[in-house]
Structure formats: C-alpha cells, structure tokens
A and B are shown apart, each in its own frame.
Chain A
Amino acid sequence: MWSSLALFGGKMNDKFVIEMQHITKVFPGIVANDDISLGLRKGEIHALLGENGAGKSTLMSVLFGLYQPEEGKILKDGKEVKINNPNDATALGIGMVHQHFKLVECFSVLDNIILGVEPTKFGLITKKEARRKVMALSEKYHLSVNPDAKIENITVGMQQRVEILKMLYRDNDILIFDEPTAVLTPQEIDELMIIMREFANEGKAILFITHKLNEILAVADRCTVLRKGKYIGTVDVKDATAEELSEMMVGRKVQLQVEKSDAVPGDVVLSVKNMVVASKQHKNNAVKNVSFDVHKGEILCIAGIDGNGQTELVYALSGLEPIVSGSIKMNGVELSKQSIRKRNLAGISHIPEDRHKHGLVLDYSLEQNLVLQTYFEPEFQKNGFIKFNEVRHYSEKLIDQYDIRSGQGSITTARSMSGGNQQKAIIAREIDRDTELLISVQPTRGLDVGAIEQVHRQLVAQRDSGKAVLLVSLELDEVMSVADRILVMFEGEIVGELNPKTCSVQELGLYMAGAKRDDMNGGEK
C-alpha cells in the first residue's frame, strides 16, 4: 500500500488537479486495473503508456465515469469526488476524445457537439448561440469545421476535431485523448500535437493515451506506464529515453529486429494487374489501378496508414468484394471472377484483419472453428455427414502444435477464449492449410509482445518453406523488421516500392503520408 503512495510522496506539494488513487477495476476473468495511482498536474501533458490490454482505456473510462472501480478513489483539487457517469465527469471539467469516436453519424457537427448540453429556450433548442461559440472555438484553436456537415460525410481527422470541440464546448479543462493518433496522417498528428501543447500552455491538463514512444518523447511532460493492468511507474519525459520507456512498457528488453535470413524469391505466385476496387464509404475508388507480384519465398508487405485502401485490396484478393476492373492471377490462372471458395482452393490462405468479423464463428467451438476452411474436404465429411472423430483428432493436433490455450480444449467456445489464443487458432488454421499464398492482415493486432514475436517467426518460417506471404501492416516497426520488400499504399495507390534494408523509417513515413511518391505504373510492369 505505502509503496505506491511513496511514489507521489516527494511531490506532495505539487498540486494535482486530478488524482486517481489505488484504482482497481475487475472484469469477469480479468483484473483490468490493479491498484493503479496517477496524478495529473495543471498545464501538463501526461502520457499514459502501455501495450494493448495494459489497462489504459479502462483507467480512463473509470475517470470519465463509464466504469465504476471496485476499489480506489478519485480526487479533484484534493477533494474526493464520485464520478458515476459522464455527466459527473463533465461537471468536473473532464472531457474525453474516445479511441472509437462517439459521434452520431447522421447528425450534423453542431448537433453532435451540443448533444447532452443543449441550450434551450421555451423547451426548444436554440442553436444560434451554440453555433457562435463553436465557431469562436474553432477559430481560436485552428480547428476549422463546417458545423452543418453531417458526420458521415467528413474525414476521420475532421471527426476528431469535432470530438475535441465537444470537450472545449463543455469548457473542460482536463482533457483525455485516447489513442488519438491511430487514425491520423503524419501531418494531422503534427497538428494535433501543436494543439495539445497549446491547451497545456493555457493551463489545461492533458492525459494522452498512446503506445507510440516517439509521440510521447515529442510532446509529453511526464509519462505513467502500465503493464498488464499494473502500475509500473511515472517518469519525467525529459529525463527518459525511448529504450527505458519501452522496457518499462513490455517488462524486458525488446528485440525489435526479427531474426531471419535473406529472402530467396522464386517464381511469381500471385500477379495483380491494374486492379480497381470500389469503396463502400465514398464514391471514389478505394483501390486505384494497382499492380504488383508476389513471389515464392518472400514476405511482401503492404504498408500504409489505416484507410488507404489496404482493407479493400485484401477483400478484393480474397473475393469478399468484387473488383471493378483489372486482373488477379494465381499461377497464371485468372481468379478475379471466381468465388471465394474456388480462390481458397486455388491456394490462398487468409488471416483476416478483423478476427471477430471474419475469422471466427464465436459461438462455435474451437474445433468447429479450426475446420472452417476444410469442413467440406473428404477428410472431414462423408456423404454430407461430418466426421466428428476426425475433426476432434485434427483439432487436438493443431492445439498441440500451435500451443492454442483454452479452458476446455477442442470443445471450448471461441467466444470464451482470449484474443491472443483466438488469433493463434486462426493462424494455425490458415497456415496448416499449406497453401502457396498466405495473406496476413495485421496479424499481431492486439497481441502482447511474446505472441507478436511468435507470429513473426511463423511468418518467416512460412517464407522459408517457399511460400509467398503478403503481409498488410500498419505498424512501422513490423513492416521494417518482417518484410523483404515493401509496397506503400496511399489513397488507394501504390506510391512506392522500398527495400527495408536500405530505406529508413523516415523515408517510409514520407511515402505513407503521401509526401513522396514514385511513378509505379511506368516501372516494372
């Protein structure tokens, strides 16, 4: 008990606007926050660092009144307060930009901003005053928005501005930013950093949740680190290095480099030519005239910021979405008009981006999920009846081979498994199909460091066994360390081909942000 208090002991004379003491929050089966304390000063940017699942978002949801902690208390200006719901938080001046924006899509920007604090006259909403205030705020902080635009019609970066304006409109002076940079372009990130700094200079207190070290080093004053729901420590950023912070975050020295030999590319397995894919979100095409080849024995990585057409590209390759024009050839056979099943049988394995949407039937048992791609093969069925013994046998084999852990083995419901083990099950299923091409989309999303390393090793092993691997990743580190060849996608086009050995992260970043591009169409094809 005393030990964690002592962390603050030396700084008791500093005034904290918000202090969270010994917060413990338990969800069924997991302690999301285990005795976490945190103090926030006026005018500082306080980073909250931790991996996925470290408990950052939970802690902030507690502060924002979305969850009630089992233990611990919250102090505002030294006085204990109860935050039972977001209204209480707002009353205390706490505002939050959520990781998944909380905006009503069919509402206008203005309606979203005033929702919950609507100014009224005779019971009717009066928007005139609200509009004036929003316009003034947006001018002051250079957050230009069109108050009458519908949320569904504006960009993600713009939506984030609306979220920020929501806090400002409520006169919040304690601002929580939950992973705000994940959806932004580098330029937008820079702008956001400037705005955050501006807020801090004005005396607002900022909590900045992230797992990106460079952002913390760039903008934060202090940094609190969480790991697996536990409090690790708080450091002054100016005295800290990236290595120290990352070690605090993951609990050991991180081996960022993946050990692998040089690739020995063989024949072309997949050949994509002039492929165009329509977008479901907007009228433009999501993938514009893209051409590339994937060879045997190489890991080709598609890099880019989220939402630049990678998802649609993979959907088109796997057959989940039709293409507008172009061709997809696998070993010379045209696939673009084929059904998903035919493509799978032609030799495509696919570790999907969203494991809950595409990867698993959550109410099916583990074994049923493990045969999701093969249940119709003679190995598992006879005259239309499933061979349950074979399925069980196969499932036990995969569980053993890929170290999939679950409560009741083969008969565990997928829903009750941890995210990491769900992902392991999908990877096992897709790799074990032994196909020529493995499409792997963000295979390490949401996994802890140990699991990430394991996935990377498996990808490299696939490559070494002569398969073609197409990896789509948003993580720069992953791209640089795993890929043999990098294609950068920006706004639906491939804007550059890079060699991870010779290019720098900065260069890659410039391509990803659209600041630099090569003419790809005149090139190799």
Chain B
Amino acid sequence: MILLIQYTLIYASCLILVALGGMFSEHSGVINIGLEGIMVIGALGGALTMMYMPEGVSPFLIVVLTVLMAALAGLAFSMLLSVAAINFKADQTLVGTAMNILATAVAAVVVKAINTTASHGDNVSAIVRYIEEHEAFIVRWNLGEKSFFEFNWFFVITIVALIVSAVILYKTKFGLRLYACGEHPQAADAAGVNVAKMRYSGVMISGVLGGIGGLVYIASANSSWDFKYGVAGAGFLALAVMIFGEWKPWKIAGAAIIFGLFRALSNVYTAFPLLMELNIPSNVYNMLPYIISLLVLAFTSKSSRAPKAEGIPFEKGQR
C-alpha cells in the first residue's frame, strides 16, 4: 500500500510538472506535442549531471545542480519548437513529432558514445547509472519495522511548481497576457502585448517543466536508466493529463493523481492479493488513462476548453 502511494506520488509529480509545462505552452498558443522529447532531453541532462557528479558533493547541491541541468536541457531543446513554430510558422504537430524522434535518437547516440568511449567498445548500451546520486533526492521515513516511506524532494518541487503556476497564470500580468495570446492573439497584439515574446515564454516554461518532469520520471524510483526507451510515453500521458485537466492547474493536479495511480498500479499490482486474483495484465492499467481521456474527450469536445488560437501561427495583419 505504501509502495502504491509512493509510486502514485512519483508518477503524479512527473505528470503534473510536464502537464503544467504543456499548459503554459498551449495557453500561449503553441501546441506542444514534443513534450515526450523534452522529457527525454531533460532526463538526459539530469542523468549525465548525476553521473559526472564528483564524490563528496552535498546532497543538497546534487539536487539543485541536477534539477537545474535537467531544466536547462529541456529549455534548450524546447527552443527547437519555438523557433520553428513562432519564427517560421511551421506545422506544430510535425515539429513536435520530429522533436520526439530526435530526442530519443540524440539521447541514445550521446549515451552510447559516452559508454563506448569510456569502456573502449565493451559497453555499447544506452544505460546511465547514478546509483548514489539518486539517493540525494530521497528521504526515508521509518514507519515501524522494515517498512518505510521514501519521501522524495521532487514532491516538494512539484507542489511549489503547481502553486507558482496557478499564481502566475491567474494572478500576474504575465499570466493574463499569456492566456490572451492563446485565446485571441490579435486582441493581445492590439493591447500592446508582444505575442511572439509571450509564445516564446510559454514554450520555454514548458521546456523547463518538461525537462524537470523527465528527470523525475527516470530518477525518483530508479538508479539507472536505459535511454533506448526514451521515457516510454510519459510525455503523451502528460498531454492526456493536460486535456483531462482542462488546461487548468488544479484540475491538472487532480488528473495527474488519477492517471499516476493507474501507472503505479501497473507496476505494483502484484503486491495486492485482490488485484492479483483479478489477474489483470499490467498493460490494462497502462492503457486505462488513455481510454479514459479518449472517452472524456468524446463527451466534452463539443464544448472544448482548449485555447482557441492554439496551433495557429500569429500573423500581424490578420483580423
């Protein structure tokens, strides 16, 4: 049970961060299908930081540096989307797809190159190990004999990110302007808002949050990661969370916890005698979030709350 809660929280944290990123991007008017790719690159940045971390660095510094590098990596990678979508008005779905393919390829090439060089050709895998460093993120709380809860610093980061996001979106002028750019960029432009700048900001925030989300995905429960697999669809699940959460921070948090629970169940259901007896394959739990999102979409799309101008390049002259 504790394990289930723990896994749920881990997945939910990851999904909240990435979905919030997607939310900022879409509220600015840019569809970000490339979240999966951003996560991979963020994860890569974080994983390599941990791998190269010299011994004896304080856990606090490890956490700060790793998160920072993951965020920076995600940010840099997200620029591929903003440049193409905002400056060159490229098809955003296509660019996002390209980013996803690119990220997995880049991560595999980089990690394999590092491993190959380090082992003189003996190790050609795409696995990064960060066994000790990843402990820095975890605080174990004893709950009596042999059972403990692994509290994770990522939970704190997520809660802070959630609150800050909600405040930014609803209480600041930045949020108001960003929101306007995704709904009616011509109106924002006429009110003196620099639409391109706001859209850049939206995508950049999604890069930062997506990057950290990627790190959460690989580092909170694992001590090594094989980059051959990317992040196994977590970015797309985050997209589903964002849609299910109607592009609103608090609802996203709720959706992420539900979807996180399903993901967690697929990992740990064998620990529950009841679920064991049902003998439902773990793939079913994996599949459920997508099916639920699809059903929800089917019944709510007529009155969709998606930002009205998302995916449409902004042309100054248009009305």
A interface residues, Cβ below 8 angstroms from B: 64, 66-67, 85-87, 90, 96, 98-107, 111-112, 114-118, 120, 123-125, 166
Residue of A nearest to B171 (CB): A124
Query: Cβ of A118 and Cβ of B317 under 8 Å apart?
Result: no
> Whole-angstrom distance from the CB of B1 to the nearest CB of chain A?
41
Q: Give the residues in chain A near B300, CB-CB below 8 Å.
A: none
Contact of B183 among A90, A98, A105, A114 (CB under 8 A): A105
**B228 an interface residue at 8 Å Cβ cutoff?**
no
Query: Cβ of B173 and Cβ of A103 under 8 Å apart?
Result: no
* Size bracket of the B interface: 20 to 34
Q: Give the residues in chain A near B189, CB-CB below 8 Å.
A: 66, 86, 102
Query: Cβ of A105 and Cβ of B319 under 8 Å apart?
Result: no
Cα A66 to Cα B319 in complex, Å, equals 11
Cα A433 to Cα B317 in complex, Å, equals 37
Q: Give the residues in chain A near B180, CB-CB below 8 Å.
A: 104, 107, 115
Q: Give the residues in chain B near A100, CB-CB below 8 Å.
A: 186, 319
Q: Give the residues in chain A near B274, CB-CB below 8 Å.
A: none
Query: Cβ of A115 and Cβ of B316 under 8 Å apart?
Result: no
> Whole-angstrom distance from the CB of A169 to the nearest CB of chain B?
11
Cα A428 to Cα B10 in complex, Å, equals 65
**B184 an interface residue at 8 Å Cβ cutoff?**
yes
**B308 an interface residue at 8 Å Cβ cutoff?**
yes
Cα A114 to Cα B193 in complex, Å, equals 12
Residue of B nearest to A119 (CB): B173
Contact of B192 among A85, A99, A120 (CB under 8 A): A85
Query: Cβ of B176 and Cβ of A111 under 8 Å apart?
Result: yes
Query: Cβ of A104 and Cβ of B184 under 8 Å apart?
Result: yes
Q: Give the residues in chain B near A103, CB-CB below 8 Å.
A: 184, 187
29 examples of A-B residue contacts, CB within 8 angstroms: A66-B190, A66-B316, A66-B317, A67-B316, A85-B192, A86-B191, A90-B192, A98-B319, A100-B186, A101-B187, A102-B184, A102-B186, A104-B179, A104-B180, A104-B184, A107-B176, A107-B179, A107-B183, A111-B176, A115-B176, A115-B188, A115-B193, A116-B191, A117-B191, A117-B192, A120-B172, A123-B172, A124-B167, A124-B172
Contact of A115 among B191, B194, B319 (CB under 8 A): B191
**B177 an interface residue at 8 Å Cβ cutoff?**
yes
Closest 7 CB pairs of A and B: A116-B191, A118-B173, A102-B187, A87-B192, A102-B190, A116-B192, A115-B191
Query: Cβ of B184 and Cβ of A67 under 8 Å apart?
Result: no
Q: Give the residues in chain A near B191, CB-CB below 8 Å.
A: 86, 102, 115-117, 166
Residue of B nearest to A68 (CB): B316
Query: Cβ of B172 and Cβ of A125 under 8 Å apart?
Result: yes
Cα A117 to Cα B190 in complex, Å, equals 12
Cα A114 to Cα B187 in complex, Å, equals 12
Q: Give the residues in chain A near B167, CB-CB below 8 Å.
A: 124
Q: Give the residues in chain B near A102, CB-CB below 8 Å.
A: 184, 186-187, 189-191
Highest count of chain A CB atoms <10 Å: which of B171, B173, B177: B173
> Whole-angstrom distance from the CB of A300 to the nearest CB of chain B?
32
Cα A112 to Cα B190 in complex, Å, equals 11
> Whole-angstrom distance from the CB of B187 to the nearest CB of chain A?
4
Q: Give the residues in chain B near A106, CB-CB below 8 Å.
A: 183, 308
Residue of B nearest to A86 (CB): B192
Query: Cβ of A98 and Cβ of B184 under 8 Å apart?
Result: no
Q: Give the residues in chain B near A112, CB-CB below 8 Å.
A: 187
Given contacts A67-B317, A117-B192, 10 further A-B contacts (CB under 8 A): A66-B316, A67-B316, A86-B190, A101-B187, A105-B183, A106-B183, A115-B187, A117-B191, A123-B172, A125-B171
Contact with A along B186-222 (1 / 0, CB 8 A): 1111111110000000000000000000000000000
Which chain B residues numbered 275 to 319 have a C-beta less than 8 Å away from chain A?
308, 316-317, 319
Q: Give the residues in chain A near B193, CB-CB below 8 Å.
A: 115-116
Cα A99 to Cα B172 in complex, Å, equals 29
Cα A103 to Cα B180 in complex, Å, equals 9
Q: Give the residues in chain B near A87, CB-CB below 8 Å.
A: 192
Cα A512 to Cα B77 in complex, Å, equals 58
Q: Give the residues in chain A near B172, CB-CB below 8 Å.
A: 120, 123-125
Residue of B nearest to A89 (CB): B192
Q: Give the residues in chain A near B173, CB-CB below 8 Å.
A: 118, 120, 125
Highest count of chain A CB atoms <10 Å: which of B176, B190, B316: B190
> Whole-angstrom distance from the CB of B43 to the nearest CB of chain A?
31
Query: Cβ of A118 and Cβ of B184 under 8 Å apart?
Result: no
Cα A125 to Cα B178 in complex, Å, equals 14
Cα A437 to Cα B26 in complex, Å, equals 46
Contact with A along B150-191 (1 / 0, CB 8 A): 000000000000000001000111001101100110111111
Cα A87 to Cα B190 in complex, Å, equals 8
Q: Give the residues in chain B near A105, CB-CB below 8 Å.
A: 183-184, 308
Cα A117 to Cα B183 in complex, Å, equals 18
Residue of A nearest to B319 (CB): A100
Highest count of chain A CB atoms <10 Å: which of B183, B184, B194: B184
Cα A117 to Cα B172 in complex, Å, equals 12
> Whole-angstrom distance from the CB of B6 to the nearest CB of chain A?
35
> Whole-angstrom distance from the CB of A282 to the nearest CB of chain B?
14
Q: Give the residues in chain B near A115, CB-CB below 8 Å.
A: 176-177, 180, 187-188, 191, 193
Q: Give the residues in chain B near A166, CB-CB below 8 Å.
A: 191
Residue of A nearest to B182 (CB): A104
Q: Give the residues in chain A near B190, CB-CB below 8 Å.
A: 64, 66, 86, 96, 98, 102
